[in-house]
Amino acid sequence: MKNPKILLLGAGGFIGANLTERLLQDGKYEVTAIDIESEKLEDRLDHAKLNFKQHDIRSRCDSLDNMVKDHDLVVDLVAMANPSLYVTNPIDVFDLNFTENLRIVDSCLKYNKRIIQFSTCEVYGKTVASVLGKDPAEMPFPFNEDTTPMIMGPIKNHRWIYACAKQLLERVLHAYGLEKGLNYTIIRPFNFIGPRIDFLPSEKAGNPRVFSHFMNGLLYGTPMQLVDGGINYRAYTYIDDAVDCMIRIIDNPGGVCDREIFNIGTPENEVTIKELAHMMKKVFDEDFRQPGDPDPEIVSVSSEEFYGKGYEDCDRRIPDVTKARTKLGWHSKHDIRSVIHHTMKYFVDQHRAKQKAA
């Protein structure tokens, strides 16, 4: 029997590269990987079951539509998932995350293809605690896929355009499922970290996610900056655990994932950003520190100073993963220290290799 064919859009990103690697290891699928860059897939480009195509979905041509037609399943990871861009380029963020992704959804509907659409935990928005002016530490309410209301900030805080674009796409998928029979599964990731997550600001210009900023401090001595004091909470999931859940959703035993939304996260790994900074320093000191390594200062900065005007943050994101556990039998294996260690090791090994080569 011929292996099913997966069209994986956004395969060159952090999640996409790790998912592609696992799909190739399992060997059950033929994978067509689409992205504008292939750096994170370089070690796999010659794999017999991988067909990489450099393509920008924003280009108006028929090739993407034809690729959807020729595959059995579409996995859509295409997104601008960087808070700094939500503030500096909100229209581009909306256009890619909604308008261009909707074209992919329409092609799946046209050819009756199942689509796995990656969304974001940011669709939940703010917690009830923040709206009521309460301390979020006193109101630990998990976000449930099917019942939790979605609370966004005011329009002037255009940081929310990303969450709103993703939420609107989810609502269109749901409507297509109801009215036209589209078979979809939506995934809401909760703060995945691991190898290949991001670049370091001292090595490449830009504004990556928090782990890379803190890692940059540990390796290059730049301050570990806590935006607005680092009081907000995040629950971190190791990428290997997350990919394990994704594979179960792709396999879809008995159709249990049809027209369902799944949180993928690890509620037990919740810490504040400030706690993360101190934990990273501790793990680095215990597991990786060498003579001459810098000892960065942990400092607080305002969100406006760090991101610019129009920024507002989610105060707390606790994933309810009951559905993934009951329907898919999935559980995370890595606690927060393990997540930090394994992700840190990737950056440290790369840094030491560059030092040795210099």
Could you give the CA distance from residue 94 to residue 102 in angstroms, rounded to a whole number?
Answer: 11
CB 213 within 8 A of CB 224: yes
* Encoded tokens for 141: 């309410």
Active site residue 162: yes
Strands 50-54 and 30-35: parallel
Could you give the CA distance from residue 292 to residue 216 in angstroms, rounded to a whole number?
Answer: 15
Q: Which helix (H) or strand (E) holds 103?
A: helix 101-111
Q: Tell me the helices (H) and strands (E) count for the chain, helix number first.
A: 13, 13
CA-to-CA separations, 305 to 79, 129, 225, 278, 302, in angstroms, rounded: 25, 25, 11, 22, 5
Query: At residue 264, what are phi and psi to the nearest 5 degrees?
Result: -120, 110
CB 344 within 8 A of CB 283: yes
Place of tokens 């796409």: 169
CB 177 within 8 A of CB 102: no
Could you give the CA distance from residue 235 to residue 258 in angstroms, rounded to a whole number?
Answer: 26
CB 167 within 8 A of CB 153: no
From the list 162, 233, 238, 307, the catalytic residue is 162
DSSP-assigned letter for residue 258: T
Could you give the CA distance from residue 83 to residue 163 in angstroms, rounded to a whole number?
Answer: 10
Grouping H, G, I as helix, E, B as strand and the rest as coil, residue 299 is strand
Query: At residue 151, what are phi and psi to the nearest 5 degrees?
Result: -120, 110
- Packing angle, helices 273-287 and 336-357, rounded to 10: 60
Which residues, 6 or more positions from 67, have their beta carbon under 8 angstroms from its beta carbon? 7, 32, 34, 53
Could you give the CA distance from residue 57 to residue 34 in angstroms, rounded to a whole number?
Answer: 9
Residues annotated catalytic, as ranges: 162
